[in-house]
Structure formats: structure tokens, C-alpha cells
Amino acid sequence: MKVLKEVMSWIIPVIIGLAIAFAIKQFVFTRVRVDGPSMEPNLQNNEKVFAFKQSKVKHLSVIVFDAHGEDPSAKANTNYVKRVIGLPGDTVTSKNGYIYVNKKKIKQSFISDAERNAGTGNWTLASLQKSNGWGNGTTVVPKGKYFVLGDHRSVSNDSRYWGFVDKDKVLGVVKVPVWASNKTRRANVNGLAY
């Protein structure tokens, strides 16, 4: 009896701790590993970041989402990390390296001029849909969807090629911990959303 009581005295706290950890991972945040160069220079391949599940998605938020079913080439259990450019109802256009949301040029200080010009291209939502065979000719981001781009535009596989991200596929808003990155890169991920 004494042995059982002793064993239970350390098993119960372990079970409670595991339950709390599971609840935090399920409902608050989870750790994510960045896979590939599509978010350089702000997020590096294999960098570990947090995805906060309750954070509101805004313009320029960096999100992690389940890409299976969004990108036709993504296998099950594949997550992508991208930057939200267009929210529901937005028009999105690219011209000469500049992105326009609702006809207003957005600041892209989070990437260099060379990165903007080399990889962004000239397009509208309608022209992307027509050239890449997705969507139904809509000229605005549909309700419950987001338009996303990688920061390293010339290598990013993003909404330009396969379309919008469904709100229900978003796992969370990415935040870089203070110990994991330099101040500028951290600010470019954590502090630009509006």
C-alpha cells in the first residue's frame, strides 16, 4: 500500500504535466520547423519557430498551414510557412516588383529590391488563375481564404501557382523566439502585421 501511494505520488503529477503540455500544443501554440528556402532571408531552412493558434491573421502575418489539398503537389502532413499578402475581399496585383493590395502599394522592407524584382513578376489575381489553371476568374480573395507569398519569391511555391489558402487550413501565426534570430529578421516576421 505504501509503495502504491509512493508510485502514485509521482505518476499523477507527470500525467497532469503531460495533459497540460498536450492542451498547450493543441490550443495555444506549437513548434514548427521551416523546411526550404522560400522564406529567406527572414526565416532559414531548418529554423525552429512557434505557431500561435489563437493569433489573428492580418496583412503581412507569417503563417503556417496544412498545404495538403491547397498545393496539388503537397503530400499529407506537409506544412508550408508563407506570408499573408491578401485577406478576404482584397485585390492583389504585382507590377515591376511592387505588390499592390486594394490598389495601395505595400511596403516590402522585409526583402531587398533585388529579391522583389527577381522573383515577384507582373500579374493580377485573374491573370494568375488563367495562366496557372486554378480558381474561377475571381478578381478578389474569396471569403474564408488568404493569398500568400514566400519572401524569397524566385524560389517560393505559393499562391501564385496553386491559389488561395483556406482559413481552416491555417495552423497558426508564426513568431520567432528572441533567442533564435537576429533583431531585424525577428522584426520582419513578428512585427509587420497590420
- Which residues are tagged catalytic? 38, 82
Q: How many whole angstroms separate alpha carbon 91 and alpha carbon 191?
A: 23
Give, in order, the Cα–Cα distances in Å from 155 to each of 25, 29, 71, 119, 160.
Answer: 31, 28, 15, 8, 12
Rounded Cα distance, 6 and 104, in Å: 66
The answer to whether the CB of 26 falls within 8 A of the CB of 158 is no
Angstrom distance (rounded) from CA 130 to CA 185: 35
Q: What is the DSSP string of 7-67?
A: HHHHHHHHHHHHHHHHHHHHHTEEEEE--SSTTTTTS-TT-EEEEETTSPP-TT-EEEEE-
Half-sphere exposure of 145 (CA within 13 A, CB side): 16
CB 165 within 8 A of CB 135: no
